Chain A
């Protein structure tokens, strides 16, 4: 947790705004956006866990992109299949390492952060035809009893 790290760094006047962006928006407070133009753009249809499982075993064009942090990866494991690990906090600088001849399936824990990654990539060299995200994230995948591997 970031606030805990600040304690370790010697800061001692630390607050945690637990309600976060959700609470801020709920109170109809002002928000800022640098990329308002694409912040609300349409997303490709997410892929269901079972469909993804079938595609991964039959279609070599499918590539998983794991955007979670290391902690989550260690705790939950990874979806079994060809994977590019690119944490979301590095996506804006390192997105060019993703191939453009594959069908990229972005996944996170519960599909809360994947939409932002998708919108960002749609602004770059990726299209609806080669980009999607896993519906419900790795949580949904595991709930279906599908295979994961240790990190």
Chain B
């Protein structure tokens, strides 16, 4: 294999690791959704179950319409999540900044 090709491969693998390493660690089953995608989905007939994961105090102040507040600490004991485990769930909090 030509030396330049080897160096390019090493560089690309390194770059991929660098980018991958800077992304938040997500379980394989969790997908990222963007603002336009979420907006469109919330306007559709079949809406996702939208969960705000911070506190009720913050939820009282500001939230995306149609959200339910389930603080992360209370997620596993909450009875508010849908019984159907096929139901689409979207989680959010304050976001960056």
Q: Are B61 and A35 in contact (CB under 8 A)?
A: yes
Collect the chain A residues with CB atoms within 8 Å of residue B62's CB: 21, 31-33, 39
Collect the chain A residues with CB atoms within 8 Å of residue B51's CB: 2
Stretch at the interface among A43-51, A52-60, A88-96: A88-96
Interface size on B, residues (CB 8 A): 50
Contact with B along A97-125 (1 / 0, CB 8 A): 00000000000000011001101100000
Asked if A39 meets B61 with Cβ closer than 8 Å, knowing A89-B73, A91-B55, the reply is yes
Interface size on A, residues (CB 8 A): 48
Chain A positions within 8 Å of B, measured between CB atoms, are: 1-24, 26-27, 29-35, 38-39, 69-70, 87-89, 91-92, 112-113, 116-117, 119-120
Taking the nearest CB of chain A, how far is it from the CB of B37, in angstroms? 9
Asked if A12 meets B73 with Cβ closer than 8 Å, knowing A33-B61, A88-B55, A92-B55, the reply is no
Taking the nearest CB of chain A, how far is it from the CB of B70, in angstroms? 7
Of the residues A11, A16, A69, A112, contact of B87 by C-beta under 8 Å? A11
Of the residues A11, A19, A32, A117, contact of B63 by C-beta under 8 Å? A32
Q: Are A17 and B90 in contact (CB under 8 A)?
A: yes
